[in-house]
Structure 1
Amino acid sequence: MTAVRGTTVDITTQDGDADAYFVRPDGDGPYPAVLFYMDAFGPRPHLRAMADRLAGAGYAVLLPNVFHREGRAPLFDLPDFIDPGARPELWDRILPVMLALTPDLAVRDAAAYLTWLADSPHTTDGPVGVTGYCMGAALALRTASAFPERVAAVGGFHGGRLATDAPDSPHLTVERITAEVYLGFADNDSSMPPEQIELLDRTLTEAGVTHRTEVYPGASHGYTQADTAAYDAEAAERHWTALLDLLDRTLVRPAADSGTPGRPES
């Protein structure tokens, strides 16, 4: 794995500064950019470690605190090992913050994140990749829908409520997506039952979006998150394979970079 260099940055949005973690390979660059959307527990050591792993594969990765209107991360008093079943009071604090991040606010912020990445001297010109986890999967789809000319790849993992009867359901905007989309769903996930997966898949197909949806057998909502009770090591590694394959296909390194796109050099 390539050595990486990470730092905390502030991104100017229409509603104040958003704190974020930015990490890239420790080299000359520039590197293809990836916007990394958090889960509801927010930026924390495990998510930064995931961003580091992506950076080690050859990408410049931005992990913003999408709850920045509520304060800088960490917003929540999280244990080292998160088990919502054992601490249901966590959701009493998290859920109102999630609901306050409306689709309009999320898209407004996405514009700032994408602009920051485009202006960075460490990123290549051209479209970026976006990946998101749990609630971040919806943010990834909304970003690709709102900025189709800026996003070439979307990865979404254990996302929930992506195809509901709500008037602002994420699936209602996917006809604007031009990116390639990969969605890896959890098998045991009441927030994304089979009928929602089927509706989302059908909507993407009818819109002509290049995509693949897969259900990870036996995996629970949150399967990539090693600091939670939902973690599934096999499913998490499957997600890494799928995500890196997607980014390899869609994001291009500068011609001067002789390495394989998206992979660390041996």
Structure 2
Amino acid sequence: MADVQGTTVTIPTRDGDADAYLTHPADGKPHPGVLFYQDAYGLRPWLNGMADRLAAEGYTVLVPNVFYRRGPAPVVELPEFIDPPSDPTIWERLGPLVHSITPERAERDADAYLGWMARSPLVADGPVAVTGYCMGARLALRTAATHPGRVAAAAGFHGGNLATEEPDSPHLGAGRITAELYFGHADQDPSLPEEQRRRLEDALTAAGVRHTSEVYEGAPHGYTQKDTSSYDAAAEERHWEALNSLLRRTF
């Protein structure tokens, strides 16, 4: 695995400047790009460490602060160990931020993130991959649908509300997707019940999207996040195997 170099960068968007964490192999050469969408807890040391691990596999990884409209990360101060059951005020503070990312804002932001990556000398020419966690899985699915010419692969892990009955549900963009998709669903996840998993599967299959959907048995929502009470080590390692396999097939 390669040594990596991480830094904070600024991405101009139509709604202001977004701060982001950028990490890449330390050789300074261009590498395939991966757009990494945060979970609801935002940019923080654990998420940056995940991006570094991915970069060490030979990728240039961009992790934008999707809540940049409310300020630079950390937008909400959180404890080193995040345990919402013991502090319900965490979601009282985060909920409005999550709901502020409308489909229209998500598409505009993806334009900016992907455009920045296309101009970066650290990102190899050609399409990119996208991965997302929790709310980031929704953003990854939307980005694959709204930017089919740029996104060759997209993955989502413990994503919620991927296939609701709302008229703007992310799964409704399946017909525009040309990327290969992978989903690692959390078994114990009230935000993505079996009904939604079936609806997502049916939409992707009907649209002819290359995809794999797996349910991680016993894994709770948030299983990849070691700094939270939802962490599951076995599920996290399974997610790395699946993500790296997808990226190797793509690049």
Q: TM-score range by the shorter chain?
A: over 0.9
Corresponding residue number in structure 2 for 1:178: 178
> What TM-score does the superposition give when structure 2 sets the normalisation length?
0.99
Corresponding residue number in structure 1 for 2:250: 250
Is structure 2 residue 122 aligned with structure 1 residue 122? yes
**What SS does the aligned partner of 2:84 have?**
coil
Corresponding residue number in structure 2 for 1:240: 240
Which whole-Å CA distance do the structure 2 matches of 1:188 and 1:136 have between them?
18
Corresponding residue number in structure 2 for 1:15: 15
Which whole-Å CA distance do the structure 1 matches of 2:77 and 2:15 have between them?
24
Which whole-Å CA distance do the structure 2 matches of 1:176 and 1:86 have between them?
42
Which whole-Å CA distance do the structure 2 matches of 1:10 and 1:127 have between them?
21
The letter of the residue matching 1:191 is: S
Corresponding residue number in structure 1 for 2:151: 151
Shift of 1:100: 1.2
Shift of 1:195: 1.2
* Number of residue pairs aligned between Structure 1 and Structure 2: 251
Which whole-Å CA distance do the structure 2 matches of 1:99 and 1:28 have between them?
37
1:113-165 per-residue CA deviation (whole Å, 9 max, x = no partner) reads: 00000000011111000000000000000001000000000010000111111
Corresponding residue number in structure 2 for 1:257: none
Which whole-Å CA distance do the structure 2 matches of 1:160 and 1:209 have between them?
20
The letter of the residue matching 1:190 is: P
Which whole-Å CA distance do the structure 2 matches of 1:132 and 1:224 have between them?
11
Corresponding residue number in structure 2 for 1:50: 50
Is structure 2 residue 91 aligned with structure 1 residue 91? yes
Corresponding residue number in structure 2 for 1:68: 68
Which whole-Å CA distance do the structure 1 matches of 2:28 and 2:48 have between them?
22
Q: What are structure 2's unaligned runs of at least 5 residues?
A: none
Shift of 1:80: 0.5
Corresponding residue number in structure 1 for 2:167: 167
Which whole-Å CA distance do the structure 1 matches of 2:230 and 2:198 have between them?
24
Which whole-Å CA distance do the structure 2 matches of 1:5 and 1:100 have between them?
31
Shift of 1:58: 0.4
Which whole-Å CA distance do the structure 1 matches of 2:22 and 2:9 have between them?
7
1:67-106 per-residue CA deviation (whole Å, 9 max, x = no partner) reads: 0000000011111100010111011111011111111001
The letter of the residue matching 1:134 is: C
**What SS does the aligned partner of 1:85 have?**
helix
Change (3 A) 1:8 1:199: same
Which whole-Å CA distance do the structure 2 matches of 1:62 and 1:2 have between them?
17
Corresponding residue number in structure 2 for 1:255: none
The letter of the residue matching 1:118 is: A
Shift of 1:28: 3.8
The letter of the residue matching 1:34 is: V
Which whole-Å CA distance do the structure 1 matches of 2:178 and 2:52 have between them?
27
1:9-33 per-residue CA deviation (whole Å, 9 max, x = no partner) reads: 0000001100000000011421000
| Percent identity for Structure 1 against Structure 2 | 61
Corresponding residue number in structure 1 for 2:224: 224
Which whole-Å CA distance do the structure 1 matches of 2:131 and 2:237 have between them?
15
Corresponding residue number in structure 1 for 2:104: 104
1:157-181 per-residue CA deviation (whole Å, 9 max, x = no partner) reads: 0001111111110011111000000
